[in-house]
Amino acid sequence: DIQLTQSPSFLSASVGDRVTITCRASQGISSYLAWYQQKPGKAPKLLIYAASTLQSGVPSRFSGSGSGTEFTLTISSLQPEDFATYYCQQLNSYLYTFGQGTKLEIK
Amino acid sequence: EVQLVESGGGLVQPGGSLRLSCAASGFTFSSYDMHWVRQATGKGLEWVSAIGTAGDTYYPGSVKGRFTISRENAKNSLYLQMNSLRAGDTAVYYCARGVLDNSLDYWGQGTLVTVSS
């Protein structure tokens, strides 16, 4: 099974900061990776698919990059509504594993 | 507007069974793969199952042989039959729509399953 490891698991940042979250796959998955945002008590929301394509309606301060085994999600200038937990998900095989999550907190 | 509404969650004893439903609206249900994803309280997301448009099904090892995903296109409905339930299956269960690359673009609000004696 393909394992995904996100780093860091916790991130403390301030409004206006640029932050980057990394997702590493245990084997190559081409660009079959998605990023989701989840706020407490809510369902996850798709942000990025195909590693770098912004989902419709998602602000352009979110961006994704990478291929193979290393991927990043970048938020260029944190807004108050961005404090949430972020998950990556691999879509390369029919075992659609998620990363363990990165909780982004206000400093 | 795309909507997914789960139902059927509740309290069940270990070893028991439960059937979850997901009512879909606002899109051509038969044209999309559908998924179930679960989340234990305070934990991360775990993919549980998927069903393709042709009825092909997929499961991780943790639920294979115990859970069965199915769909009824005429009723725009997705189901998850869960048997031999364990305490570790306690979670909020979400249904979600899969798109071209299998990312999940719409999610329901979730239904809570509690397995406890």
Q: Kindly give the confidence (pLDDT) of every residue in chain A, 107 residues in length, as a single tens digit, with 9 standing for 90 and above.
A: 899 999 999 999 999 999 999 999 999 999 999 999 999 999 999 999 999 999 999 999 999 999 999 999 999 999 999 999 999 999 887 789 999 999 999 88
Report CB contact under 8 Å: B94, A50: no
Q: Closest Cα of chain A to B28: distance in Å? A: 19
**CB B25: neighbour CB atoms within 10 A?**
11
Q: Which residue of A has its CA nearest to B6?
A: A43
Q: Which of A89-98, B35-44, B99-108 has the highest mean predicted lDDT (pLDDT)?
A: B35-44
Phi-psi region at B89: left, alpha or beta (left = phi > 0; alpha = psi -120 to 50): alpha
pLDDT at A91: 87
Asked if B45 reaches chain A (Cβ–Cβ under 8 Å), the answer is: yes
pLDDT at B100 over 90: no
Report CB contact under 8 Å: A43, B109: yes
> Which two tokens mark B95?
């249904």
